[in-house]
């Protein structure tokens, strides 16, 4: 974890100097997780692609023009992604979560898995999507950040503008709700 912070700080310094290679490195490093984070929150694949591009454009503009100290580059990216999704829904009237087929197609494109693994992934994603659809936004978001994106509680707190304690409670409640929904749907519990 220490080396990642050191590498991120070096990358950040290069970005502040408007180094296009540094931006390409940032993009390569974070495009998949940011896309995945957004994908679970918007109705269509195209929306997720557009918002992902928007996030990286905003980051490039912000870093190259701000004098503010940026303490955590990854948290800044996720917070920008989160705010972009919020703005998207403010502009949009359609609030549906994307269908299982689009998620599965994207997973196939991103991971190039074997046929057997793809079938297992389809079943798992369908079950996960079904449960996530039934959860309120904060619970869905904290589950994705913690268990899909594997972010530490400290970063989730920065992204969601909450204290670490609040995030821990939110995770606990989200898991409890998720377990209840899984049990209600007749699926095995975590």
Q: Given this model, what pLDDT does residue 89 score?
A: 85
Query: Could you read off the pLDDT of 4-37 as tens digits, one per residue?
Result: 577 877 888 888 888 888 888 889 999 999 999 9
pLDDT-derived band of residue 2, with 50, 70 and 90 as boundaries?
very low
Dist CA 101 CA 119 (whole Å): 12
pTM of the model: 0.62
Architecture per CATH, 1-98? Orthogonal Bundle (1.10)
| Look-up of token digits 């269509």 | 44
Dist CA 85 CA 91 (whole Å): 10
Q: How many helices (H) and strands (E) does the chain have?
A: 9, 0
Chain centroid to CA 38:
5
**In this predicted model, which residue has the larger pLDDT, 127 or 99?**
127
Q: Given this model, what pLDDT does residue 161 score?
A: 92
Query: Could you read off the pLDDT of 168-188 as tens digits, one per residue?
Result: 999 999 989 988 887 787 644
Dist CA 165 CA 161 (whole Å): 12
Backbone angles phi and psi of 161, in degrees to 5:
55, 50
CATH number given to 116-190: 1.10.10.10
When pLDDT is averaged across residues 139-162 and rounded to a whole number, the result is 89
Chain centroid to CA 40:
8
Asked whether the beta carbons of 129 and 103 are under 8 A apart, the reply is: yes
- Per-residue pLDDT for 162 more than 50? yes
Query: Could you read off the pLDDT of 64-120 as tens digits, one per residue?
Result: 887 777 878 888 999 999 999 988 888 765 444 444 445 555 555 554 445 555 555
Q: Which of 77, 98, 62 is nearest to 26 (CA)?
A: 77
Backbone angles phi and psi of 120, in degrees to 5:
-60, -40
pLDDT-derived band of residue 43, with 50, 70 and 90 as boundaries?
confident
Q: Given this model, what pLDDT does residue 69 score?
A: 76
Packing angle, helices 2-16 and 20-39, rounded to 10: 120
What mean pLDDT, rounded, does the chain reach? 79
Q: Given this model, what pLDDT does residue 103 score?
A: 53
Dist CA 185 CA 177 (whole Å): 12
Packing angle, helices 2-16 and 73-91, rounded to 10: 70
Domains of the chain, residue spans:
1-98, 116-190
Q: Given this model, what pLDDT does residue 112 score?
A: 47
């Amino acid at each position: 974890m220490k080396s990642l912070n050191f590498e991120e700080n070096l990358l950040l310094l290069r970005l502040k100097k408007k180094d296009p290679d540094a931006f390409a490195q940032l993009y390569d490093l974070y495009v998949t997780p940011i896309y995945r984070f957004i994908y679970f929150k918007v109705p269509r694949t195209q929306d997720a692609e557009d918002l992902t591009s928007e996030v990286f454009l905003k980051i490039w503009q912000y870093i190259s023009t701000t004098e503010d100290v940026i303490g955590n580059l990854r948290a800044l990216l996720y917070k920008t992604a989160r705010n972009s999704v919020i703005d998207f829904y403010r502009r949009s009237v359609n609030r549906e979560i994307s269908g299982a087929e689009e998620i599965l197609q994207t997973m196939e494109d991103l991971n190039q898995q074997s046929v057997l693994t793809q079938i297992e992934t389809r079943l798992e994603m369908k079950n996960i999507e079904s449960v996530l659809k039934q959860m309120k936004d904060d619970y869905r978001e904290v589950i994705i950040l913690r268990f899909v994106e594997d972010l530490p509680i400290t970063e989730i707190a920065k992204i969601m503008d909450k204290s670490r304690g609040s995030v821990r409670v939110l995770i606990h409640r989200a898991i409890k709700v998720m377990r209840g929904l899984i049990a209600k749907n007749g699926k095995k519990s975590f």
